[in-house]
Structure 1
Amino acid sequence: MSPQLIAPTVAVHDSFLAAMEEFRADGAEQVPYSNLARELSTWATRWPTAAGFAEYVDMVGGTPDEERPDGVVPRTTRWWVADGSYLGRVTFRHRLTDELLHYGGHIGYAVRPGARRRGHATAMLRAALPIARHELGIDPVLVTCDHTNTGSRRVIEACGGIFEDQRGERLRYWIHAPATATGQ
């Protein structure tokens, strides 16, 4: 089965745990402005248990309009899954704070290290754009990446990203989502 963006699910628990170990070994906890880094430090001790993982899945897959701590915008998370295996994730931020406007953008994505360089990031971002526009009402979307991240820059450009500027170490791109919803 081809990879798809799906709502977070407990069905991929084992592959999710393996992916988080790959991210940790790859230094993901050190990435500034990263939800993944924050979640690794907050949830890693709870993910191994069925109850802890279910609580996490409820949290990331919950209703985006529920009350959030100050400064945290509503967001929606989808996981990139193929044949029951977790390959990565996309986080949609429904609106931009000043910090997100400069450094984070509307969409953040991550592919587990063991699945990189196989086209997953490009396919995942392409699949995310219609969701942003048609389900969440976000168009155009802002996507950013570190100026040294050549792979991410290529992904964004392959998905139609138009370079706006560089702010600090972040490159900022705007992408217009397709006018019609497409399959993933």
Structure 2
Amino acid sequence: MPELIAPTARLHPAWIEARDEWGPGLHEDGFGVGPSDEVDSPAGFAGWVTRLAAESDPSKPVVAGQISCIYRWIVERDRVLGGIALRYGLNDYVLQFGHIGYGIRPSSRRRGLATWALVRMLDEARTLGLDRVLLVCAVDNLASVKTIEQRGGVLEGVRDTEHGPARRYWIKV
């Protein structure tokens, strides 16, 4: 049975395995990896996990212009299957990429993990006092479209982004 857990340096080898399955690049939304994050070495990975933990503290006030985010990994028997992030506060980043972003490693797709994790993050959004959340996905990502629409997503429209055209959905929490 999968579980959602806070990022942990303990799962460094498992996370690297998941990342390598995706191939080169910054990978799927939900992990919070930035271009300056060095995650290959144990020390770099631990530093990245520490940064994610600091950003994930909902007791800290939301600062205008900064990203406040709760990160969770989808894990089963110490195997990292994916990640999901809940960005809160409404800033330019959230308006471009959405409140919730997620990614499931290719070998773990088609198991309903994204839907399972999305339901749990919608509960987190409710706890934070959000009444609706924005989700954004590529127009050709039919798996995400299905996941979002099954959870009540209402299409706002399609917009061009730096990564190509994207669908924008709102879900009432």
Amino acid at match of 2:22: F
Aligned to 2:20: 21
In the superposition, the TM-score normalised over structure 2's length comes to 0.83
Which consecutive residues of structure 1, in runs of 5 or more, have no partner in the other structure?
A: 178-184
Equivalent residues, number? 166
Consecutive unaligned residues in structure 2, runs of 5 or more: none
- 1:156 maps to 148
For 1:69-148, list aligned pairs within 5 A. 71-101=65-95, 103-134=96-127, 136-148=128-140
- The code of the aligned residue for 1:110 comes to G
Partners of 2:153 and 2:169 within 8 A in 1: yes
Q: Is the 8 A contact 1:73 1:96 kept in 2?
A: no
Q: TM-score, normalised by structure 1?
A: 0.78
Q: Which has the higher helix share?
A: 1
Paired residues of 1:75 and 1:94 also in contact (CA < 8 A): yes
Residue type at the aligned position of 1:8? P
Residue 112 of structure 1 deviates from its aligned partner by 1.4
The alpha-carbon distance between structure 1 residues 13 and 140, as it changes in their structure 2 partners (threshold 3 A), is: same
Please give the secondary structure, in 1, of the residue aligned with 2:85.
strand
Quick check: 2:156–2:170 contact (8 Å CA) kept in 1? Answer: yes
The 1:162/1:67 distance shift into structure 2, 3 A limit, reads: closer
Q: Distance in 2 between matches of 1:154 and 1:78?
A: 21
- Contact 1:29 1:41 (8 Å CA) reproduced: yes
Contact 1:5 1:128 (8 Å CA) reproduced: no
Change in Cα spacing, 1:51 to 1:90, as seen in structure 2 (3 Å) is: same
Q: 1:47 to 1:148 in 2, by over 3 A?
A: same
- Paired position in structure 2 for 1:175: 171
Greater fraction of residues in strand: 2
What is the distance in 1 between the residues matched to 2:30 and 2:81?
16
